[in-house]
Chains A and B, each alone.
Chain A
Amino acid sequence: MKNLLKSEVTKKILLFFNENPHSIDTAKGISVWIGCDMDKVQRSLDLLVKKGMVINHKTISTDAYSYTTKKDIVKKIEKHIKSLA
């Protein structure tokens, strides 16, 4: 987790989802909300999906992302984010 949070973009994505757990958005949308380059956001999202922190809702025409629904992962992320704040 600490390694993940070293990346500014990854940190901002996790913060965004922590503050807006209900949201589902594309990589482009998320890059607008957090003010980061879309390609970097896409790479971070792919990594976070692998780690199970973000869910990829994949269809033929759209790739959308949302926060994990697993309580233990959400708590872990919250704890680390709070320690950075």
Chain B
Amino acid sequence: MSEYNKKKDKEFLKKFCKSGSIAKLKQVFSDIMGNKQIKCMFLDPDCAPIEGNQKAHPEIAKALRLRLPEAVENFTCSCGKHCMTIPVKQGDNVYGYIVGLHLKQPLDKTSAAFVKIYIDLALKEFQKEQELTKLYDTIRPRAIALSTIHTIHRLLSSTLNMDELIERMARLSLQVMRCRSCSIMLIDESGKYLMPKAVIDLNNNGGKKDVCKYRKIKVGSGIIGNVARSGKVYRFRSLMCVPLIEEDTVGVICVKKKTSKASFSNFDLEILLTLAEQAVIAIRNAKLYEEQEKAAYGSIKSLAVLLDAKSPNMYTRSERFTKITLAVAEEMRLSREEIKDLHYAVLLPDTGKFGIPDKILKKQGGLSLGEFNIIKKQHLESLKILQPLEFLKPAMPIIKHHHERYDGMGYPDGLKGKQIPLGARIMAVVEAFEAMVSARPYKDKRITISQAIKEIERNKGTQFDPEVVASFISALKKLDLKKLFYDLLMNK
């Protein structure tokens, strides 16, 4: 038998001798033999003592070594007392021997047969237990690791915003690798440089660092640059860099310094590679989504330019209007999707005016009831221009209802209060403000910013949503008004 197998069998016997089955056997035997508590000696297949009364009766081990009993047998020790030997074996494989010492009487044949059967059954049961424990110890951590990878996949797939995605990836990598620092760099459009996109360093009091402070790295330069160029991993003690590959290398993810201060292992590398593969898929999806958004935005801008060509500033709004509207939306903590839809609506707020005759649109002074009804009707008709653009669907209610009033006295549907989409309520405030401070063909003069703000406040609860007004005022305070209203200041 090889040394390795001998060692394995010895370990097995040690555990078996400590098991509940042997403790029970000793108890039962003590009762049968009339002993208070049977003392046992455990010997390995070479009859060397494992545990038990190792100091007592060393001659027993010596004697047994000479003849290696194959069945349960009685014998007398040097003290003249009854003892017995029980081989612990399965088939031809002998794990060792249990020696019962100083029995009150020798073991009879029936009891010997009982002991043999019991040891057989106990061995089988113990082996099964060992197999189950081994299975549990090997499969459970792998199952947990698999579940982790699956959960990460779900977390990464839940966002299509590139910045959010990259930062989330960095945090998840930090968590899974249990390291102190993680950075993700993506190759720029030229293909020559790696641009830092997310850097998290737990040594830096909680983490996220301003990526602008990190310089770009030339592909092929240094460890990270070489990982990007070669597409090969780098692992050394407290640093691991793995390329992000989708056909070509698109970036590199680096982790540094395990929390436990141990070196990164092969297992760590496998995990990071798996993470990187998932990351690449998520990045690709985010990029596709970004391109789709750009195309959508481009379409709207083209339409806005076309409408502007017909009549400047009649169907579209200024950059300032857009900035203020989006600032109010951020102040009110709208989601990214909601802000995006509002942005689309802001680019084409008055498409509805397209079919309205110029003499009504550009009329100085108030409108007659008939003229106002034309405006209301045309507003709905002209929204049909935007209907074929599927991606504008969420923005349509904002465009349609931004002329509603909070008190229900607006148009086209007379919606009241919170019935009006929030984006429309925001646009109503900003549009009124912008109209007051800018020159419009149907107005004689403009008023100052502070006067306009006061006017807005006066009309909260009637024309405007009070919550939106409050957020509008907060948002204005945070903006650089001198820069924003530069054109107005210059045209005083």
Which residues of A come within 8 Å of B, CB atoms?
20-26, 29, 33, 55, 57, 59-62, 64, 66-67, 69, 71, 74
Q: How far is the CB of B117 from chain A (nearest CB, A)?
A: 36
Asked if B176 and A22 make an inter-chain contact with CB atoms under 8 angstroms apart, the answer reads yes
Q: Which residues of B contact A22 (CB under 8 A)?
A: 145, 148, 175-178, 271
**If the complex has contacts A29-B151, A71-B259, are A24 and B175 also in contact, measured as CB distance less than 8 A?**
yes
In the complex, are the beta carbons of B148 and A57 less than 8 A apart?
A: no
Kindly identify, within residues 207 to 231 of chain B, every residue whose CB is under 8 Å from any CB belonging to chain A: none
Q: Are A62 and B202 in contact (CB under 8 A)?
A: no
Q: Is the Cβ of A24 less than 8 Å from the Cβ of B171?
A: no
Q: Would you call B302 an interface residue if the criterion is a C-beta within 8 Å of the partner chain's C-beta atoms? A: no
Cβ-based interface call for B144 (8 A): yes
Report if A25-B259 is in contact (Cβ < 8 Å); known contacts: A57-B172, A69-B178. no
The answer on a CB contact under 8 Å between A24 and B151 is yes
Q: How far is the CA of A11 from the CA of B16 in the complex (A)?
A: 31
Given A22-B175, A22-B176, A24-B172, A61-B154 contact (CB < 8 Å): yes
The interface on chain B, measured as residues whose beta carbon lies within 8 A of the other chain's beta carbons, has a size of 23
- Is A20 within 8 A of B144, CB to CB? yes
A64 to B150, CA, bound (A): 11
On B, residues with C-beta under 8 Å from A are: 140-141, 144-145, 147-148, 151-152, 154-155, 158-159, 168, 171-172, 174-178, 202, 259, 271
- A69 B202 Cβ-Cβ under 8 A: yes
Q: How far is the CA of A55 from the CA of B168 in the complex (A)?
A: 13
Q: How many angstroms between the C-alpha atoms of A26 and B144 in the bound complex?
A: 11
The 6 lowest CB-CB distance pairs between A and B, nearest first, are A59-B158, A62-B154, A23-B148, A61-B158, A66-B175, A64-B151
Interface of A: prevailing SS:
mixed
Residues in B with CB closer than 8 Å to A61 are 154, 158
**A59 touching B155, Cβ below 8 Å:** yes
A57-B172, A62-B158, A69-B259 given; A25·B177 CB < 8 A: no
Q: A57-B172, A59-B159 are in contact. Are A21 and B144 (CB under 8 A)?
A: no
Q: Which one of A21, A29, A57 lies within 8 Å of B155 (CB-CB)?
A: A57
Further 10 A-B residue pairs, CB within 8 A, beyond A25-B144, A29-B147, A33-B144? A20-B141, A22-B177, A24-B152, A24-B175, A29-B151, A57-B155, A60-B158, A61-B154, A62-B155, A64-B154
